[in-house]
Chain A
Amino acid sequence: MASSSTPIEDTIRQKITTALQPSTLKIYNDSHLHAHHKAMEDSTSSETHFRVIITSDAFQSKMQPARHRLVYGLLKEEMAREGGIHALQLRTMTPEEEKRRKEQEAPAENAK
């Protein structure tokens, strides 16, 4: 783990997997897209911007802000630390919502 080239991504995966037992977990590292932003001037990290898609039963009967807070809470240290996560985009769904989303997207595909 210490020699991993993606320590923060590994931590995100591990913490979310342990706490939320997601049925879907996709982590995208978008840091390269933001490397030239002013806020990144002093950053040497290649792990600053992440986009994470999580499907979990743990989000059941929680509004979106509560779901995001749950994830932010898990990654509190990584987000607060200097040189840690600068931006974290989240999509948080329950399994039912994911299914509905897929169904909505499918007819559009067929219509082409």
Chain B
Amino acid sequence: MFSRSILSRQLFRQAAPAAVATAPAFRSSILLQHQRRLLSDQTKQAITKAVASAPVVLFMKGTPETPQCGFSRASIQILGLQGVDPNKFAAFNVLEDPELRQGIKEFSDWPTIPQLYVDKEFVGGCDIIMSMHQNGDLAKLLDEKKVLAAGEETSEAESSEKKE
């Protein structure tokens, strides 16, 4: 349902200096060693832009069509169940870019993926999305922010679907 894909790669290519793109093996070991290094201004800018690129933004592993992780899959399914308007939604695949993958963790002060932003505000990861979905808080939030597809009322039966 989320046919509109934001060109995260482009955005993050702009942000990543060409020089670091060489020697990927070396680079990834450097990244691991310095996981808590400060976020570069460029990456921070690119992430700020990404967060503001749509009212609902999900940083995930894989794409909405083919998630590469169960937690990302669950999150995207919930947004679908809630009836989020595809035109008001953007997904960023962190697996496409190590800068983004590491950067978003520092940016949000949140060590795991997926991460949901609504109206540029951090909402939470998969567990929080799931519990907000179950207790009705997510429906309320998405309704307040007017990001649900028009005329698509989510039925109670649908939104209270529980999977444990």
Contacts and interface: CB of A to CB of B under 8 A. Distances in A.
B71 A87 contact: yes
B109 interface: yes
A79 B111 contact: yes
Q: How large is the interface on B (under 10, 10 to 19, 20 to 34, 35 or more residues)?
A: 20 to 34
B132 to A, nearest CB: 8
A76 interface: yes
A80 B127 contact: no
Contact of B131 (A37, A64, A76, A88): A64
A82 B32 contact: yes
A112 B126 CA distance: 30
B112 A87 contact: yes
Contacts, number: 39
A31 to B, nearest CB: 13
A89 interface: yes
Contacts of B111: 72, 76, 79-80
A69 B109 contact: yes
Contacts of B128: 64-65, 68
> A-B pairs with the 6 shortest C-beta distances?
A64-B128, A80-B35, A79-B111, A65-B124, A72-B111, A90-B127
15 contacts: A64-B124, A64-B128, A65-B110, A65-B128, A69-B109, A69-B110, A72-B111, A72-B112, A79-B111, A79-B112, A80-B35, A87-B71, A87-B112, A89-B126, A90-B127
